[in-house]
Amino acid sequence: MAHWRNWSGKLTAEPWRLHSLRSESDAVALAVASAAGGRTVRAVGAAHSHMPLIPNDGLIVDVSGLTGVIETDVEAATAEVWAGTPIYALGLPLQEAGLGLANQGDIDRQAISGAVATGTHGTGETLTNLSAMVAGATIATSTGDLVKCDALTEPEVFRAAQLHLGALGLVTRLRLQLVPAYRLSEHGWYEPFVDIQPKMAAYISDNRHFEFFWFPKTDRVHAKIVNQTDAPPEYPVGKEGAKVGWSHEVFPSRREWLHTEMEYSVGADVGEACMLAIRELYQTHFPEVEWAVEYRTVAADDVWLSPANNRPTVAISVHCDIAEDDRRLFGACEEIFLAHDGRPHWAKVNSLAGSDLARHYPDWEKWWEVRDQLDPTGTFLNDYLKSLRT
């Protein structure tokens, strides 16, 4: 029996075995052997997810051995990368090839396959999440196949693989749609919430990236705008809120305080109203909470299970210390998010059942059909994912 825990330590598991993937052929052999032996398999990237996507009593498979950029196509602005590559390890090789990710999240510690598995996103109303940047994938399935998919080859598998929840098989490679390499300039500042609120819409539309953290105790925000620049990088790269550099140098922040998190995506048209309702909730019922609330925007996409599917989106995240019981705060926030027709982040705490999720995703059943075809033995489903089947 082995022991596993996620980043926050809130999720643990005692799987039969932990396995480190060494190669693509290893992935195929492992998937087939596990199916034959009736063992569940769940891959793990950087273990940053707060939902029980990984715990199971079979195998937990570390994909970090599959790492690096395989090839780049500058004309098409794409790159094929090994699935376990940490996002931070993509930055420099892509930049040197004249390419970059169009957007990134708050941190760059995740494996690229883990990030796209759950719809990881940054901020920017014209910029999609990472799942929508997937242009192709290679998946080792429990039937012993190495399935390659993109918009033209196995298009339905491709649409399911863009946001795969680790449930289709072991993803070994991803082809990413990129943009020409670019530099960014970041500016951050503090301001009372009531002062920034009337300017929010303009900040969102006038800047490539805008976001803020609202601090409930002071009712102030730390806001950040980030825009493309021709200015040369300033080294060493400055603190959050004062950086100029290549995109992969500017995007990542440090998040060292262990926490749990709930995040919902609501329609951009109700984002501000939802934020105001959350603020009122904190002020009236949770005056003791110090952890900030994050507010970001994400462009609509057509990824089957993307929280931004067919809807310009505002993502609002609430946080809780790992030493505390998050249920009362998160439960109250979730009621507000759901009242605003919110969709949960796949990797962050939520209490939704499959039937609730199905309502949000017109292609929910198709996703499950594709999944079942690739993995008829259910090798890649743990108890949590099984509970979501409608």
Minimal distance, residue 284 CB to ligand FAD, in Å: 28
Alpha carbons 90 and 246: distance in angstroms, whole number: 12
Q: Which is nearer to ligand FAD, 72 or 118 (CB)?
A: 118
Minimal distance, residue 363 CB to ligand FAD, in Å: 19
Minimal distance, residue 116 CB to ligand FAD, in Å: 8
Q: Which residue has the tokens 């940054």?
A: 122
Alpha carbons 100 and 205: distance in angstroms, whole number: 22
Q: Which is nearer to ligand FAD, 207 or 219 (CB)?
A: 207
| b (16+ CB within 10 A) / e for 130-148 | bbbbbbbbbbbbbbeebbb
Q: Which is nearer to ligand FAD, 39 or 345 (CB)?
A: 345
* Torsion (CA) 121, 70, 97, 165 in degrees, nearest 10: 0
Minimal distance, residue 53 CB to ligand FAD, in Å: 4
Minimal distance, residue 48 CB to ligand FAD, in Å: 3
- Distances from the Cα of 259 to the Cαs of 199, 262, 264, 312, 352, in angstroms? 30, 10, 17, 28, 21
Question: What count of residues does the chain have?
Answer: 390
293, 217 in Cβ contact below 8 A?
no
Q: Which is nearer to ligand FAD, 46 or 157 (CB)?
A: 46
Nearest-CA neighbor of 41 among 157, 173, 167, 171? 167
Q: Which is nearer to ligand FAD, 116 or 280 (CB)?
A: 116
Residue 133 is classified by DSSP as: G
Residue at shortest CB range from ligand FAD = 114
Q: Which is nearer to ligand FAD, 60 or 178 (CB)?
A: 60
What are the E-state strand segments in 14-123?
17-20, 41-44, 59-62, 69-73, 78-82, 99-100
What are the E-state strand segments in 208-309?
209-215, 220-229, 242-246, 259-267, 293-298
Q: Which is nearer to ligand FAD, 110 or 142 (CB)?
A: 110
Minimal distance, residue 255 CB to ligand FAD, in Å: 4
Nearest-CA neighbor of 240 among 121, 130, 107, 120? 107
Q: Contact positions toward ligand FAD, by CB under 6 A?
A: 7, 42-49, 53-54, 63, 83-84, 105-107, 110-111, 113-115, 117-118, 120-121, 165-166, 170-171, 255, 345, 347
Minimal distance, residue 240 CB to ligand FAD, in Å: 13
